Chain A
Amino acid sequence: MKKQLGFLGKTSALLLAASLLTFSANAKTLKLAYDADPVSLDIHEQLSGGMLQLSHMTHDPLVRWTKSFKFEPRLATKWERIDDSTVRFTLREGVKFHSGRTMTAADVKWTFDRLKSSPDFKAIFANFKELKVVDDKTIELITDGPYPLVMHTATYIFPMDSKFYEGKDENGKDKAEIVKAGASFASTHTSGTGPYTIESREQGVKVVFKRFKDHWDKDTAGNVDEIIMTPIKDNQTRVAALLSGDVDFIAPVAPNEFGQVESNSKVNLITMAGTRVITFQLNQERRKELKDVKVRQAIVYAINNAGIVKKIMRGFATTAGQMSPDGYLGYNKDLTPRFDLAKAKKLMSGSGFPDGFTLTMMAPNNRYVNDEKIAQAVAAMLSKINIKIDLKTMPKAQYWPEYDKRAADIMMIGWHSDTEDSANFYEFLAMTPNKESGMGAYNSGNYSNKFVDETTVKANKETDNAKRAEMLQAIEKQIYDDAGFVPLHWQNLAWAARKGVDAESIVNAMNFPYLGDLVIK
């Protein structure tokens, strides 16, 4: 008992000291709640939104996106195109890693090579031949022929401390190894150049970040010294935690909770048009009916996607008529949503199948916002043109194996372009599926059009932006006319923060808040 008292006494003394310390330094702490915490500290282990959010906290990229889809210098201060296949970057000087080392071009090269070996990231770097070190502060990115997305890809290069990952860990394993199943040195230790270091981490419970004192960016207004990130899985609990003041900043916010957040005077809701498009694909290989372009058009005309946005998404989405969202090069402003039931009926009666038929449909029920309800609404809408839908929805864990098997005539898929560029949509969703080239990997509809295939490849070698935009928009038009898929909407993004936390200026459509620049009043 005595011992226990002593222990308690010590703890409270420590706590007191800690609270005094925080007071004297006037430190700002941000309590942050996302729906999940990072899977690993190794930023090359998985290509996912959560890992990129972490990357922007513990690391800095060469360049990063601004809110208006422009590039902003970070660890690269200048860049210029030398020739068709080379872009030269000047690195920022005096950038320190968390380990205390100064960053050099060799670290950037090491990082690039590691990315090329990562199962998740290698595809993004497929068009790159090498990263050449010119001198200590100059590098060149060399591509296989002309490649328009060098800068887009540079947003994925977050230099890592190559010396920190040198050698073997206590199990005799290479410290730099990327291990997807099981523990590794890199998944539990990190040294980047980012605004925050990891103070402590308990998977699934919380991560504590501390501001990195030697961070190069002294001009930032960001004043957060400590971030306590807690995963809160349940949408309602996450909002309740914000409303009760237990946390300061949450994401995502489900549309059902908007009312509660908006009506509260102590918090702000921030929403923004997102870039993830939600679609249905019509399988032309499984069903001869869907090979008929009139049937496909009838389906697109029969679906009131504006109504879905209004009623099911409660305005929390932008109605889509194409894949590319506004702001992307391929966005073609003439391709508007086309709900018109009369026209759909006319197309149907003019097709080879005027009496209608039955189709199977599958959708996940926990992957996209309101995915199950959307699928049910679409099934009901299609019954009006005599297409009976046999719908099956399931959790995403079960959905993806079914999707890979192309198990239904109509399947739902949402897509976000990793490069923030239109061509990525066509490569994965619209090009003819091809095992060799890996194109059309998520084209479950088996939509195939020669013009789309060829122009996408051409556009990926065109470095003139204006010409490239023309090509991409022509592709978008072709898919639209062919009714190659059913566009529904682009999902919006939503965050909520306590008043005084200026989250508005650090969030973006890519959904990686730049927390290093966050200001708390």
Chain B
Amino acid sequence: MLQFLFKRFLQAVVVMLIISLLSFSIKDKLGDPLREMTGMSVSVEEREKLREQMGLNDPFLVQYGRFLKGAVQGDLGTSYFHKLPAMTVILKKLPATLELTFAASLIIIFLSIPLGVFAAIKPKHWFSKVIMAVSVIGISVPVFLTALALIYIFSVKLGWMPSFGRGEVVHVFGYWKTNFLTTDGIMHIIMPAIALSSIMLPLFIRLVRAEMLEELSSEYVKFARAKGLSPMKVYFKHALKNTMLPVITVGGVQIGIMVAYTILTESVFQWPGMGFMFLEAVNRSDIPLIVAYIMFVGFLFVVVNTIVDLLYGFINPTVNLFGKSK
């Protein structure tokens, strides 16, 4: 186990190094930060002076070396716009994104399993057909369109829902402020969470349905039915359990991807999370923040993958992660 984690850690270090090198080498293509930091009428010389001061004229290797030296000590540079260490900015924005992803995951879990199972058990039922039809539409409508439609219907026309932002948040500890402890906060998170889940939900319904169908046609289910077990017991005690195995693995990876999808949702709802922060950083050529974000997301993926691998090993003992003979 320890050996596995250590191997993963080494892999992570290599991945981070490659990501940092890649993001660093494209940074000059991301625009000129000085343009964003100075007014239009500021002269070229003034701009050059600032560039020199900030060390942006140094050779690539010098800049990269300086960056690595800082990175080893946990300093990924200072955001030009926020005027704070890039890591601090990201950690400040992280809770908003995680809460949004969490809320969206809840919606996905509590809708996809019952709907998927129903569509598998009663494939000919009219409701199953509706579920499958709607899920096709759901997959093909872009997130930002879903988001705008929600705002238009529920905020502008009906006036039921707040249109933007996080609303009233309660401070928990550190940088973590939560939406889940006030009614206002919960009202604010509902629409962004629905919009964010709209892409993944159809995928999961289909996945649950397909896996469930496969299980239902397997020998052990047929045998259990033949032996006279009640259908409910067969469906939920035996088939569903085995259905969940692949769903959990896919789910883990998808949650990582969902963090990336938050960019669109957050920018439409002005949700003050990491995704929106990243988009703004790109618009402003806030290079230290862009590089730090890319590295952080890379790190997140490595962590999520490791956890999923571990989980898989626990759920399915036939998978031999640690290379030990059992």
Known: A47-B41, A237-B268, A397-B283; 9 extra A-B contacts, CB below 8 A, are: A8-B181, A11-B170, A46-B39, A183-B83, A205-B165, A237-B164, A245-B159, A396-B35, A435-B44
Report the Cα distance A424→B31, complex, angstroms. 27
Do A418 and B35 contact each other (CB < 8 Å), given the known contacts A231-B270, A244-B159? no
A233 contacts B267, CB within 8 Å? Answer: yes
A398 contacts B38, CB within 8 Å? Answer: no
Which of A11, A120, A237, A245 is B151 in contact with, Cβ under 8 Å? Answer: A237
Closest partner residue, chain B, to A15 (CB atom): B168
Report the Cα distance A241→B164, complex, angstroms. 7
Do A438 and B43 contact each other (CB < 8 Å), given the known contacts A205-B272, A234-B267, A401-B31? yes
Q: Indicate if A383 sits at the interface (CB-CB under 8 A).
A: no
Do A441 and B44 contact each other (CB < 8 Å), given the known contacts A233-B270, A234-B270, A398-B29? yes
Distance from B55 Cβ to chain A, minimum over Cβ atoms (Å)? 10
9 sample A-B contacts, Cβ–Cβ < 8 Å, listed by A number: A47-B42, A120-B38, A124-B41, A182-B83, A236-B148, A240-B148, A244-B156, A244-B159, A401-B31
B46 contacts A187, CB within 8 Å? Answer: no
A397 contacts B284, CB within 8 Å? Answer: yes
Distance from B39 Cβ to chain A, minimum over Cβ atoms (Å)? 3
Q: Indicate if A123 sits at the interface (CB-CB under 8 A).
A: yes
B38 contacts A119, CB within 8 Å? Answer: yes
Interface range for A: 35 or more
Report the Cα distance A442→B41, complex, angstroms. 9
Q: Residues on A close to B: CB < 8 A?
A: 8, 11, 39-40, 46-48, 119-120, 122-124, 180-184, 187-188, 203-205, 230-234, 236-237, 240-241, 243-246, 366, 395-398, 400-401, 404, 415-416, 418, 428, 435, 438, 441-442
B155 contacts A240, CB within 8 Å? Answer: yes
Q: Indicate if B81 sits at the interface (CB-CB under 8 A).
A: yes
Which of B78, B283, B284 is A181 in contact with, Cβ under 8 Å? Answer: B78
Do A237 and B78 contact each other (CB < 8 Å), given the known contacts A47-B42, A438-B43? no
For residue A236, which residues in chain B have a CB less than 8 angstroms away from its CB? Answer: 148, 151, 268
Closest partner residue, chain A, to B84 (CB atom): A183
A240 contacts B39, CB within 8 Å? Answer: no
Which of B38, B43, B165 is A230 in contact with, Cβ under 8 Å? Answer: B165
Distance from A267 Cβ to chain B, minimum over Cβ atoms (Å)? 11
Report the Cα distance A184→B268, complex, angstroms. 32
A120 contacts B39, CB within 8 Å? Answer: yes
Closest partner residue, chain B, to A126 (CB atom): B43
Number of A-B residue pairs, CB cutoff 8 Å, is 139
Closest partner residue, chain A, to B158 (CB atom): A244
Report the Cα distance A124→B42, complex, angstroms. 10
Report the Cα distance A441→B44, complex, angstroms. 8
Report the Cα distance A404→B44, complex, angstroms. 9
A230 contacts B270, CB within 8 Å? Answer: yes
A interface, by DSSP: helix, strand, loop or mixed? loop
B81 contacts A48, CB within 8 Å? Answer: no
Question: Quick one: CB contact mask for B253-279 with A, threshold 8 Å, 1 for yes?
Answer: 000000000000001111010001100
Q: Indicate if B280 sits at the interface (CB-CB under 8 A).
A: yes
A397 contacts B78, CB within 8 Å? Answer: no
Which of A123, A240, A243, A442 is packed against the most chain B CB atoms within 10 Å? A240
Report the Cα distance A441→B269, complex, angstroms. 39
Report the Cα distance A243→B163, complex, angstroms. 9
Enumerate B1-59 residues with CB–CB distance to A below 8 Å.
Answer: 29-32, 35-46, 49-50, 53-54
For residue A122, which residues in chain B have a CB less than 8 angstroms away from its CB? Answer: 46
Report the Cα distance A46→B35, complex, angstroms. 11
Report the Cα distance A179→B25, complex, angstroms. 27
Distance from B188 Cβ to chain A, minimum over Cβ atoms (Å)? 10
Report the Cα distance A248→B258, complex, angstroms. 33
A232 contacts B50, CB within 8 Å? Answer: no
For residue A188, which residues in chain B have a CB less than 8 angstroms away from its CB? Answer: 83
B50 contacts A246, CB within 8 Å? Answer: no
Q: Indicate if B229 sits at the interface (CB-CB under 8 A).
A: no
For residue A205, which residues in chain B have a CB less than 8 angstroms away from its CB? Answer: 165, 272
Report the Cα distance A278→B184, complex, angstroms. 44
B163 contacts A397, CB within 8 Å? Answer: no
Report the Cα distance A318→B307, complex, angstroms. 60
Q: Indicate if B204 sits at the interface (CB-CB under 8 A).
A: no
A240 contacts B152, CB within 8 Å? Answer: yes
Enumerate B196-223 residues with CB–CB distance to A below 8 Å.
Answer: none
Closest 5 CB pairs of A and B: A397-B31, A47-B39, A244-B155, A183-B83, A400-B35
Question: Quick one: CB contact mask for B152-195 with A, threshold 8 Å, 1 for yes?
Answer: 10011001001111000010000000000100000000000000
Report the Cα distance A40→B165, complex, angstroms. 21
